[in-house]
Copies of this chain bind each other. A is one copy, B any other.
């Protein structure tokens, strides 16, 4: 479990990867489509997706020559459970969250690191 949290939090620590997760919240996507809004190479995105998959944050399924990426909430839930132990947080204001998402998606492709 400790091992798992390591990889989950490490995966979440990168803004590109978080942006990818928020994109996948909209819909499942092929690797190439995930890469489209970013300025970095396809190989780099492919690596990021690999890290997300290792952490269990997404699953990848190959159908034909395209590999579909899909959000998998289990890992995030595990981390969330851990964090919530540190205090009972207020229920999330989903409007706030949507606004935040819109902003983060918008900024997704702009910078490398």
Contacts and interface: CB of A to CB of B under 8 A. Distances in A.
Interface of A: 1-2, 5-6, 9-10, 12-15, 18, 21, 25, 71, 73, 76-77, 79-87, 89-90, 92, 94, 96-97, 100-101, 104, 107
Nearest to A25: B86
Q: Is the interface of A mostly helix, strand, loop or mixed?
A: helix
Name, among A2, A6, A96, the residue most crowded by chain B CB atoms within 10 Å (CB to CB): A2
Given A2-B104, A6-B13, A18-B5, A92 B81 contact: yes
Chain copies in complex: 2
Contacts of A104: 2
Nearest to A98: B85
Nearest to A7: B13
